[in-house]
Amino acid sequence: MTEEELLEKGYRKYTGEEIDVYFNTHVCQHSGNCVRGNGEIFNLERKPWILPDNASKDEVKRVIDTCPSGALHYIEKEGVSK
Ligand code: SF4
């Protein structure tokens, strides 16, 4: 999905340096895979609760790939190297 499509569907954007994360609370099934997967990136007791820069881009992708509902998506930024 493109960013436009995600935002249109009600996803909220959490901007990172190398990767942006998108979350839709209405799609979330509250499995907890995200917070259990990496509490540095996903922490419900913090605002914003998603901080994509608190781990490597690969780690962000790894955890989001475990989300069973599709409530989490990511889009990698092009042309960013580090
Ligand atoms: S892993 Fe996905 S479905 Fe589970 S709590 Fe996180 S966002 Fe919601």
Kindly report the average pLDDT of the chain as a whole number.
96
Q: Which has the closest alpha carbon to 33: 7, 76, 74, 72? A: 72
Angle made by CA atoms 62, 63, 64, in degrees to the nearest 5 = 95
Using the mean position of ligand 1's atoms as its centre, give its distance from the Cα of residue 34 in Å: 6
Are 39 and 54 within 8 A, CB to CB? no
Protein residues with CB under 6 Å of any ligand 1 atom: 28-34, 67-69, 71-72
Domains of the chain and CATH, by start: 3-76 (3.30.70.20)
Tokens representing residue 65 in the block: 């790939």
Per residue in 32-50, pLDDT tens? 999 999 999 999 999 999 9
76 alpha carbon – ligand 1 mean position (Å): 20
Q: How confident is the model at residue 80 (pLDDT cuts 50, 70, 90)?
A: low
Q: Which pLDDT does position 78 carry in this prediction?
A: 81
